[in-house]
Amino acid sequence: MIDYDGVVVLQTTQRPTCDPKAMFERLARAGVIIIPNSDTPVDRLMRNFEEATGIKPAHLVAERGAVVVSEKKRHYYKPQGDLFKQYRSAIQEALTRAGIEVLINDAANWVRDVRTHTPNSRMAILDGMRELSFCAFFRRTDESGGPYIDHEFMQDCLHVIDTVEPPVEIERQTDKCFGIMIGSIPGVSKTTGFRILRDLFREPMQWYMIGDGEGDLIDADEVTHCAVGNAQDALIHRCAFRAKHSYTDGLLECLDWISAKENLSEH
C-alpha cells in the first residue's frame, strides 16, 4: 500500500520528484499488488496514480479508508447515501449568500494546475468527487486571476460553514498551509480501509505500507511500515525502513528495500 500526497507526489505541485514508472512496471511484472491508500477520492486517485506511476490499480483505499475499490467494485464504510452531497449543496448556498464565489469540480487538480479564475475574487472550491467526505479549498485571486491563500479569508469561510448543520457527524480538519478544510466520518482511518480490503482478499498476504505521516500508520500486526525521508516522527518511530530521500525519490528507496526483502530484485 502506498500513500499518494507527500509520497508519490510533492504536495505543493502534485507532481512526482522523479519518474517512478520503470520501478512500478518491474514490480507489476513480479506480481506485486500495488494499492494506493490515500485521503484522495476514488476517481481522482485512480487517474492521478496511473498518470504518475503508469500503473492502473485494481485495488485502492480512498477518502481516508471510507471507500475501497477492489476489481472495479466499490465498498463503503457505513454508506451515507447522498447526505454528503446534500451537505455540500447547503454549504454552497451559505457561501454564495455571503458573497463568496463557489466552484464545484475536481478541486485538488484545479489547485495543482494553478488555474486562473476571476480577478480579485474570493473563492471556495468545493470537491465534487468525494462520496463519504467533504473538502474545500479557500482562495483569493490577484489582478490577473492567480489564486493565493489568505488565512483571514479562510477563517471567514469557516465561520460561514459553521452555520450549516451537517446531516451526519463530521470530524473536521483544517490546514492553513494549504488553505483546505476536510470533513470526514469520525473514527474512519486508513486502517479501516485496509481491514475492508484485507477481508476481500481472504488469504494471508505480506502487507507493506509506505507513507509520510501519522495517518499512514496501519493498526495491524501484519503490516510492515516504510517511511519516505520527509515522514513525520510518529511514522519514523514505527517504521521498519526509512528512506534517506524525500517524496518520490524516497518512495523508490522504500520499494527497493521491499524488493530486496522479498527477493524480487531478479524480476
Residues 6+ apart with CB under 8 A from 26: 267
Cell 516504510 sits at which residue? 226
Statement: the pTM of the whole predicted model exceeds 0.85: yes
Per-residue pLDDT band for 267 (boundaries 50, 70, 90) equals very low
pLDDT tens-digit profile of 119-151? Answer: 999 999 999 999 999 999 999 999 999 899 999
Weakest mean pLDDT among 155-159, 173-177, 222-226: 173-177
| Cell numbers representing residue 64 in the block | 481516508
pLDDT tens-digit profile of 44-86? Answer: 999 999 999 999 999 999 999 999 999 999 999 977 778 888 9
Say whether pLDDT at 108 is over 80: no
Per-residue pLDDT band for 265 (boundaries 50, 70, 90) equals low
Say whether pLDDT at 20 is over 80: yes
Name 173's bridge partners. 182
